[in-house]
Amino acid sequence: MKGSEMTRGPIAIRTDFERVPAELVARASGYAASILADVAGRRGTMHGRIQGLQKSMRIAGPAFTVEVRPGDNLMMHAALAQAQPGDVIVVDGKGDLSCALTGFLMVSQAKAAHLGGFVIDAAVRDTEEICESGFPVFAAGANPNGPTKGLPGRVNWPVSVGGTTVHPGDLVVGDGDGVVVLPREQALQVVNAAQAKLDFEQSFLASLRQGDPRNGWVADSLRSLGVLAPGEAL
């Protein structure tokens, strides 16, 4: 058995993986998830069912991935015992809403460990208390029923959460629109491109304030598709 990996039967827990740098996390946290998704090629976003418990919740950090059996949170407890400050625990809960995988007690534990937040493709509970705590939790729904704690899963293997592949160490950013995942190897390139996208949008908004409502690229695109004739304007 390798020192960085523990296996027993079908259970596999990995602890050694490369995280996206903290400096890059800090930079990415300054951009909207929509900006990052656009410059990432309009991909990497989780299904819209996964939302913050409050629209004001923001999340950014390296992914600490967990795969559980539907309705069982044993492997989340294993993750809480191993995650590092700033890590975002990202849980493939199979979209199951029949019971909650976490609640205020586990959120309190994560907050005490200075984790970056939870992203869970499943239900949670104690939502009012969680919102009051200020700890960011993004989930697919809520259910007061609690989970079982006795089925094996995996920690820090690739997972599918909200239809998006997440590898350990990927950059996870979430806000009021939802969650985007940037592959660790591409995160720097995407974040570097984000400012240019933001500058372009701010320039367009400035032109609107100056009384020019036109968006020049629309006519160009229509001409390239033959919808408008060469030289024809909207």
Cα–Cα distance list, 86 to 21, 92, 96, 227 (Å): 11, 19, 26, 50
Q: Across 147-200, where does the E strand assignment appear?
A: 154-155, 159-161, 164-166, 171-175, 178-182
pLDDT grade for 203, boundaries at 50, 70 and 90 = confident
Amino acid at 60: A
pLDDT grade for 1, boundaries at 50, 70 and 90 = very low
Instruction: Quote the number of domains for the chain.
Output: 1
Q: What percent of the chain stands above pLDDT 70?
A: 95
Query: Does 232 score more than 70 pLDDT?
Result: yes
Asked whether residue 234 is domain-assigned, the answer is: no
pLDDT value at position 122?
Answer: 98
| Lowest-confidence segment of 24-33, 150-159, 220-229 by average pLDDT | 220-229
Asked whether residue 190 is domain-assigned, the answer is: no
Asked whether residue 222 is domain-assigned, the answer is: no
pLDDT value at position 208?
Answer: 86
With CA atoms as reference, report the closest residue to 63 among 38, 43, 83, 40: 83
Domain that holds residue 142: 5-183
Q: Are 141 and 156 in contact (CB under 8 A)?
A: no
With CA atoms as reference, report the closest residue to 33 among 214, 177, 228, 221: 177
The CATH number of whichever domain residue 54 belongs to comes to 3.50.30.40
pLDDT value at position 9?
Answer: 56
**Mean pLDDT within 202-211:** 86
193 vs 221, more confident: 193
**pLDDT tens for residues 105-115?**
999 999 999 99
Instruction: Name the pTM for this structure.
Output: 0.89
Asked whether residue 128 is domain-assigned, the answer is: yes
**Mean pLDDT within 122-129:** 98
Asked whether residue 101 is domain-assigned, the answer is: yes
3-class DSSP assignment, residue 116: coil
Q: Are 119 and 161 in contact (CB under 8 A)?
A: yes
207 vs 60, more confident: 60
Q: What share of the chain is helix, strand, coil (3-state, %, to 5)?
A: 30, 30, 40
Average pLDDT over all residues of the chain:
93
